[in-house]
Amino acid sequence: MTRARKTTRRPDRIAIHRARVNIDLGLPPAYLNIMAIREIITVPDPRLKEESRPVEGGVTDEIRALMDDMLETMYAAPGIGLAAIQVGVPLRVIVMDLSGEDEDPQPRYFVNPEILETVEDTAPYEEGCLSVPDIFDEVERPVRCKIRYLDYDGQQIEEWAEGLYAVCIQHEMDHLSGTLFIDYLSRLKRQRAVDKVRKAQRQKSRSQAA
């Protein structure tokens, strides 16, 4: 997911995140760059319609490496949430960071997340998505939801999400079942969004080829 108003300070976050992961691994920062920015797929890529499958065998180093790459990719974009299918990996894995511009990074990791309960109250929020770049529109969702997931260390967490956290986790969970936020808009708006992204991508690849 992306914020309607884009921020520019994200490169710092990549540096802080890299330094932290290297410290966790007992490595001096900057000696080893183990993370990689992956390509984010965009509409109308058919993979975005796929159902993602659960991670089996718990949160392994391989899954953590995927989440590290996803977080770095998300910070670089910049975005506030990213599902694995957006980098072409059909697994039920999500990363997120909802911290404000002047706050320290607060990465969150979700493996096999589930929504256990939602409240009846709904509210609109202007959403954006890294797989539908530069398109923003209001989506109405429940204001609170109870979720269960495994975190970076494989611990099971159960908690209520509200505010932007509730919006973002529902948006990202939708990706795991092949649903995009534009699927909630009218058919005309959705088609316009896909056409606009496709055109922008074509222009981008043309200018890269030139």
Write the burial class of residue 47 (CB in 10 Å: 0-12 exposed, 13-18 middle, 19+ buried): middle
* Cβ-based nearer residue to Ni ion, 129 or 139: 129
Distance of closest approach, residue 184 Cβ to Ni ion, in angstroms: 12
Distance of closest approach, residue 189 Cβ to Ni ion, in angstroms: 16
User: Is 172 considered catalytic here?
Assistant: yes
* Cβ-based nearer residue to Ni ion, 1 or 96: 1
Stretch that binds Ni ion, among 62-70, 110-118, 123-131, 192-200 (CB under 5 A): 123-131
Distance of closest approach, residue 86 Cβ to Ni ion, in angstroms: 7
Per CB under 5 A, which of residues 128..167 are in contact with Ni ion?
Answer: 129
Q: Which residue numbers are catalytic?
A: 172
Q: Which residues bind Ni ion (CB under 5 A)?
A: 1, 129
